[in-house]
Amino acid sequence: MLHARSRTAEAGAACERQSARGGTVACLAARPGVPPMAELVVTRAGREQRHEVPGIPSRLQVSPSGRMVSWTVFVSGDSYNTAGFSTRTGILDTETDDLRKSIEDIPLTVDGKRYFAPDLNFWGVTFGADDSRFYATAASRGTTHLIEADYRGWEAEALRDNVECPSLSPDGTRLAFKKRVTPGPWQLHVLDLATMAETPLAEARSVDDQAVWLDADTVGYGLAKEQWSVPADGTGEPARLP
């Protein structure tokens, strides 16, 4: 994620991922040890919360209002994954202190039917302005799905395939995401949620990141330890950020 690494003054630890919106600052820091552990530090309205999370930091995003915090870590030990790794995604409601360290129990509908699979993984949550609707990636049996979910109703539905690490635009009408392409492995795209039309962005290099919206017309992302931006309509060219 853009500007992912920083320092937290109180913790004195490097944030592998950081996100700040709506008066909330969230830091996901790696902790030494076996198995790998991470610490989630969330500061809002002068109050700090700390939670241990098993795994290696991967993604982190705060909702536009600052109320909801979501994260993804890589974890090991899941027998269904022959590579030895899978993802685990959690959500924290800072207003109610409701902590869901894994969203894998959310009822998921794919092609109109409730979906069950032992290898189901979720990652890359992005929240809407109402702090209930969210989008994420679900993966199972070699296919990635874009899901739309309701936090309060606790249900999710797959909308389309081949969408990873979505990020909702400020007006809630578009999603920036990475798509598997050839030779790839990924290219940044923007999806219009009303028409489901995809627009490839003018970044030819493969980007493995959950992009952020710098404004209504510009997408930011990390690449090769640098920060970049590109127009969200497919025009222009990438620009390195200071």
What value does the mean pLDDT of the chain take? 91
Rounded-to-integer distance, Cα 26 and Cα 17, Å: 8
Strand arrangement of the beta sheet that strand 37-44 belongs to: 17-21, 24-31, 37-44, 47-54
End-to-end CA distance of the chain: 15
3-state SS, residue 240? strand
Model pTM score:
0.91
pLDDT digits (tens, 9 = 90+) for 1-45: 443 333 333 434 699 999 999 999 999 999 988 888 999 999 999
Instruction: For residue 211, report the phi and psi dihedrals to the nearest 5 degrees.
Output: -65, 160
pLDDT tens sequence across 189-210: 999 999 999 999 999 999 999 9
Q: pLDDT tens digit string along 127-150?
A: 999 999 999 999 999 899 999 999
Distance CA 43, CA 174 (A): 28
Residue 168 CB coordination number (10 Å): 22
Confidence of residue 85 (pLDDT cuts 50, 70, 90): low
Structure confidence at residue 241 (pLDDT): 97
Q: What is the DSSP string of 109-160?
A: EETTEE---TT-EEEEEEE-TTSSEEEEEEEETTEEEEEEEETTTTEEEEEE
Residue 1 contacts residue 222 (beta carbons within 8 Å):
yes
Specify the pLDDT at position 98. Answer: 97
